[in-house]
Amino acid sequence: MVDESVRNFQAAKHKACIRLGYDQRRTPLPTNREIESAFASRLRLFRGRSVTESLCCGRRAAAEIMRLFAPFQPRLVGAMLRGNVTADTPIELHLFADNPEDVVDFLRQNQIPWKTFDKRVRFAGKRFTRIPGFRFSADQSMVELLAFNVKQLREAPICPVDGRPMQRANLRAVEDLLLETQSGLS
């Protein structure tokens, strides 16, 4: 996951089984939480300062993008929030709109070229929903926006790492994290 920028836990497990010659159906595999912990340990051990620098740059860019997308109450999620980043970790934001077309209109008005995608997310009670997404580059960062319905602001999707409601950070929290990260560079 570190060296090849694999972001999907299941894909990483599958790839590891193939490389090691194991049958994935018969091999006890680590949990996503165990993988995330090993990922963080490896980053700290082999890329300590560069991780902090990437995190600082990424969170700074995230805050700027969140200011731009303020009408959609953006929330930072994922690796950039948890702190386990590499140089190519995307900035993942949840946006909240009455209609995903509102986000499209905003992207057009701000002349931001994007590509669409959709992501299957899980909510409590094993409910799955496809959420429309928009991907674009901002300076040196890849940005991924998911356009949730406004009503979904109160209900976070389930985190693939720990199976609990996903952590989300508003702009104020991201600015506080950025200050912490910058003090770690001193």
Q: Using one digit for the tens of pLDDT, what is the confidence trace for 72-92?
A: 999 999 989 988 787 788 999
At 136, the pLDDT band (50, 70, 90 cuts) reads: very high
Q: What percent of the chain lies above the pLDDT cut of 90? A: 55
DSSP state of 152: G
SS3 content of the chain, % helix, strand, coil (to 5): 45, 25, 30
Could you give the domains of the chain? 31-185 (3.30.460.10)
Q: What end-to-end distance do the CA atoms of the chain give, in Å?
A: 28
At 44, the pLDDT band (50, 70, 90 cuts) reads: low
Mode of pairing for the β-strands spanning 91-97 and 141-149: parallel
Mean of per-residue pLDDT scores for the chain: 86
- The kind and range of the H/E element at 149 are strand 141-149
Does residue 151 have a pLDDT over 80? yes
Does residue 149 have a pLDDT over 90? yes
The encoded tokens of residue 8 equal 């999907």
- The kind and range of the H/E element at 183 are helix 171-185
At 26, the pLDDT band (50, 70, 90 cuts) reads: confident
DSSP state of 153: G
Segment 149-158 mean pLDDT = 94
Q: What is the pLDDT of residue 70?
A: 98
